[in-house]
Amino acid sequence: MKTIGLLGGMSWESTSLYYQLINSGINRRLSGLHSAKIAMVSVNFYELEQLMAQGNWDRIAEILVASCLKIEAAGADVLLICTNTMHKVAEQIQAAISIPILHLADATAQKIRSDNKKTIGLLGTRITMEEDFYRGRLTRHGIEVVLPEDSDMDIIHNVIFDELCKGKCIENSRNEYLRIINDLHTRGAEGIVLGCTEIGILIKPQDTEITLYDTTLIHAEAAVEFALR
């Protein structure tokens, strides 16, 4: 079994899901008392959020690279960045380490393609929705991306940082997300990428008939496959 490296803490709410999902996935495959081999470093998200507000992505990359080098030194065979947004600096991280990054957007795209879907709606932080580092990665896999209206992007972004990263699930926010999901569907989205690792805490498959791609679940499943390959 290979050792899975986790760069966590962004937020710790979703990182705890990664740990649970990967371990349960390994145990489901191997049974008994089997669990995953994991090397994890969890950062202080407050520090990174302050740097994000300043637009200081170079410093963010420095902090995350230092953490990833610790993960590699601990014996990890692969790295998972346990957040969609911080994949903005994935290339800088990959250049600094020798183990491969299991890219969240690639794993998600492969799942979408396996379902024979070509057009998806994307929910996430405003950075993830607007910038090309994530959306462009999906596009390069032949997937067309439909984005929420600008005012809806604000709702999605604010709920993530003000509620979900703090473990809060508010019914009104769930209703707003479902409204936005329905709007994306009417505009041609065949499925919806929950492109923030916390959104799955709020929105579940039973909440809508529209196909959801929970990136936390997909990433964790890909890690299990890698570890047992």
Which segments of 58-210 are extended strands (E)? 78-81, 119-123, 144-146, 191-194
Q: What is the pTM of this model?
A: 0.94
Residue-level pLDDT at 202: 96
- State the CB neighbour count (10 A cutoff) for residue 71: 24
Predicted pLDDT of residue 27? 98
Please report the pLDDT score of residue 138 as a whole number.
96
pLDDT at 39: 98
* The CATH number fitting domain 3-103+218-228, selected from 3.40.50.200, 3.90.580.10, 1.10.340.70, 3.40.50.1860: 3.40.50.1860
> Fold match between 3-103+218-228 and 104-214?
yes
In the set 196, 197, 215, 216, the catalytic residue is 196
Answer positive or negative: Cα dihedral of 62, 65, 67, 69.
negative
> What's the token pair of residue 196?
């923030």
The vertex-121 CA angle with 224 and 145, nearest 5°, equals 95
Residue 117 is predicted with a pLDDT of 96
Residue 124's contacts (CB-CB under 8 Å, 6 or more residues apart) are 84, 85, 134, 156, 160, 193, 194, 195, 196, 199
| 196 annotated active-site | yes
Asked if residues 204 and 169 have their Cβ atoms less than 8 Å apart, the reply is: no
User: Residues 92-103: pLDDT tens digits?
Assistant: 999 999 999 999
Domain boundaries defined on the chain: 3-103+218-228, 104-214
| pLDDT score for 186 | 97
Type of residue at 222: A
Nearest alpha carbon to residue 119 among 37, 71, 16, 190? 190
**pLDDT (0 to 100) of residue 122:** 97
Give every strand in the sheet of 191-194, ordered side by side.
144-146, 119-123, 191-194, 211-214
Single out the catalytic residue among 15, 83, 128, 216.
83
Burial string for 182-192 (b: 16+ CB within 10 Å, else e) reads bebbeeebbbb
What separation in angstroms does the CA of 52 have from each of 48, 56, 61? 6, 6, 11
Domain 104-214 has CATH 2.120.10.10: no
The pLDDT score that the predictor gives to residue 2 is 98
Query: In the chain, which residues have pLDDT < 50?
Result: none
- Looking up tokens 């903005």 gives 88
